[in-house]
Homo-oligomer: A and B are copies of this chain.
Amino acid sequence: MIDKDIMRDFIKRSLQEDIGTGDITTLSTVPEGTKISGRFIAKESGIICGIEVARAVFDYADKSIEFNCSLKDGEHVNKGDIIGTISGDAASVLTGERLALNLMQRMSGIATNTNEAVQKVSGYKAKIVDTRKTTPGLRVFEKYAVKAGGGANHRFNLADGVLIKDNHIKAAGGITKAVEAARRNAPHTLKIEVEVETIQQLNEALKAGADIIMLDNMDNNTMTEAVKIAAGRAIIEASGNMGEKDLEEVAKTGVDIISIGALTHSVKALDISLKFD
């Protein structure tokens, strides 16, 4: 579940962004006390996600709104399916409508996208994971959607994972020195991951004792070789424009992890509408 406090702060900020000093149309035209009810309908097939967030949005807007939904985040919906129903004070419901839809559509788009990737590698050991290429401000929501779609999460931020890239290697004076520095300075609770571009670098990283090795933009043959060389001494992660690759072929190389930035940086929202009765 997404942390309640992070969610609440996000909803508050987002509603303020959407409402400004007040929903002048509703305030001007809808008599106080008007009730409204409606249904959330999937306009496309996919994996639904964001139901709990939408619930929190309406709860924030007005605790007396009734939002009923038998589906759970991560379940499949078909075009035309009713996702849930809502009823309550018209002004309150209309206040939360746009934010709830924007979030559900985006999160469902990510979950659906992720699930397609997961399906492609089913039967292989490779896990599909996300990256830090998330929308600023929405990271926990987008990473939650990746999990809802059957994927797994890479680190959440720069503090909860060590990932040594070319710049770190250059600054530290080589892979070996970089790994040693990380082992000396970083908390012992974090694994040490090294990004490599060649088999030679792979060998150095293995020797230095890296826990995870990210193969950056390698072709499938080289990756297959890398997996053999590693032989279980480190977790092997395939990376680099994976959104445009044939994922099954990548999985066949034997890598443990495939990380895909496009899961979150190029999202096609799932079409969901709120039809009022």
Contact = CB atoms under 8 A, between A and B. Distances in A.
Interface in A56-107: 90, 94-95, 98-99, 101-103, 105-106
Interface in A82-136: 90, 94-95, 98-99, 101-103, 105-106, 109, 127, 129, 132-136
B190 A190 contact: yes
A206 interface: no
B31 A163 contact: no
A207 interface: no
Given A26-B168, A158-B23, A158-B25, A136 B190 contact: no
A15 interface: yes
A171 B31 contact: yes
B22 A187 contact: no
A137 interface: yes
B134 A102 contact: yes
Given A28-B185, A137-B10, A22 B159 contact: yes
A13 interface: yes
Main secondary structure on chain A at its contact with chain B?
mixed
Given A137-B137, A189-B193, A191-B211, 19 more contacts: A3-B22, A6-B16, A14-B137, A17-B139, A19-B158, A20-B157, A20-B159, A21-B157, A24-B161, A24-B185, A28-B186, A29-B171, A29-B185, A102-B134, A135-B137, A160-B189, A188-B235, A189-B191, A190-B190
Contacts of A157: 17-21
Contact of A136 (B137, B162, B171): B137
A265 interface: yes
A40 to B, nearest CB: 15
B162 A24 contact: yes
A159 B276 contact: no
A252 interface: no
Contacts of A188: 127, 129, 152, 154, 191, 212, 235, 256-257
A1 B6 CA distance: 26
Instruction: Give this chain's copy count.
Output: 6
Interface residues of A, number: 95
Interface of A: 1-3, 5-6, 10, 12-32, 34, 36, 90, 94-95, 98-99, 101-103, 105-106, 109, 127, 129, 132-140, 152-172, 178, 181-182, 184-191, 193, 211-212, 235, 256-257, 265-269, 276
15 contacts: A5-B12, A5-B15, A17-B139, A19-B157, A20-B20, A24-B187, A25-B168, A28-B186, A29-B171, A29-B172, A30-B172, A105-B133, A154-B189, A266-B267, A266-B269
